[in-house]
Every structure is written in C-alpha cells, then in structure tokens.
Amino acid sequence: MRIIRTTDYDDMSRKAANIISAQVILKPDSVLGLATGTTPLAAYKQLIRWCDRGDVDFSEVSTYNLDEYRGLTHDDPQSYHYFMRKNFFDHINIDLSRTHVPDGSNPDADAACADYDKLVHDAGYPDLQLLGIGNNGHIGFNEPDKYFSKGTHCVDLTESTIKANSRLFDREEDVPRQAYTMGVQTIMYARMILVIASGEAKAEAVRRMCFGPVDPECPASILQLHTNCVVIADEAALSQCPEA
C-alpha cells in the first residue's frame, strides 16, 4: 500500500485526477470502477476540464460504479445513476452505453446483484478502481461485518452511514436503508485501487485501513493485501497515521 500525503482536498483531488487520466491515456479502452459521494467531486471536475481541453479522451472507456441505493429509479435525483450523469458522464465524451451502475430499481435483489456481477466479470474487472472510505471503514457499501463479502449483494446500511449520507437528502428519514454494492472480493479483483480521503472525520478510518489489523470490522483494511493500492489523503485524514 502506497500512501500519498497531500496538503488539502484540492491537492488530493488533482493528484487523484492525474492518476485516473494517466490510466486512460495509457490505455484508451480502460475499464474504470467509479465511486460517488462528495469526496470524488473535485477530481471529476478536473477530469472534465482536461477532457474539454482535449487532454484526455473517454470515448472508449467503460465504467462500473460501486453501488446504488435499493428502490430508487435511475432518474431519481438521489440515485447514483443520476449523480454520475450530473457530475461526470454528461460533461465528458463517454458513450453512455458503456457506463454501468447497479439497478436499484429492480426489487429482485438476487437478480439485480447477479446481473451486475456478470457485467463486471464479463468486462474483466476494473483496470483502476476508485474508492472513498466511510467513517466506519466501509468501502462501497460494504459495512463492518464478521466476514469480508464476495460478490455484489444487498446490504442494510448502518445508522452511521445513513447519518453521514443524510447531508445529501432533505431529511435523514429520506435516506434509503438498503443498497446494492460490489463485494469486497470483487473490488480486490481490480488491477489498481485508488483510495481518496479528506478531512479529520476520516482520520480514524484511514488509520485502521492503513495500519490496523486486517479485519472485516474495518472492511477497508483488506486493501493492505492488494498488490497495487494507492491511498491519496490530505493532512487531516492522515492526522492519526505515522508520517508517510
């Protein structure tokens, strides 16, 4: 695991965008695993600017998002389908038929998860998987558990995750209580994993991810075992870690 220490959120975001753009430039038909939430927003904006300038070309790229809330239609403003189009896909030259997000509108959880697993498998798994990290150490929506998950599955979100995500909803009670998410094993199949973290609220989770025991109670800790994992985090997020 390689740790890149940055000064602040903007520095973190630019360095993450640099790595993602380099992946696409070196392999134009890259398979990218993407994440939602507030942490990657500035990195996406930087990639949009570079695409507008002609510095990076997404026309042959395929993408597979980590997760989606169960029960939301694709055009629901709180869905991750909507989030990705609003914040990234609609602003770059990507073929929307090459973009994939779990189908939260499918009430049949087993079918929705199996279908998504097949899509990711048939794509050969991501060349680069972008991850954020939750305050409780979750990656995707893989919450603390007694074991590491395998394939895409339906999860019951913890109260801490619901509370953290409520900032994006009008009311906390509006946050869905379940989601479909890639499993930890699926994430680990990516050839490169890029984790980004910012802010003091993430400090304990980042410490446990990088320096704690490998334990499903902190799902991100398994990334210590990946052969090509890069963590880009700002000073605040690394405040509980030894100097990198």
243 is catalytic: no
8-state DSSP, 153: E
Q: Rounded to whole angstroms, how far apart are CA atoms 39 and 199?
A: 10
Catalytic residue (one of 138, 153, 165, 234): 138
136 is catalytic: yes
Token output for 229 = 């994992």
Alpha carbons 78 and 12: distance in angstroms, whole number: 26
CA–CA separation, 129 and 134 (whole Å)? 16
Contact of 180 with 68, CB cutoff 8 Å: yes
Examine the residue annotation and report whether 67 is marked as an active-site residue of this protein.
yes
Rg (CA), the chain: 17
Which residue among 67, 68, 117, 234 is the active-site one?
Answer: 67
- Which of 81, 100, 127, 136 is catalytic? The answer is 136
Candidates 113, 104, 123, 101; CA nearest to 35 is: 101
Q: In whole angstroms, what is the distance from residue 154 CA to residue 142 CA?
A: 9
Q: Based on the number of CB atoms within 10 Å of its own CB, is 192 exposed (0-12), middle (13-18) or buried (19 or more)?
A: middle
Q: Which of 117, 127, 143, 234 is catalytic?
A: 143
Distance, CA of 130 to CA of 103 (rounded, Å): 20
Residues tagged active-site:
67, 136, 138, 143
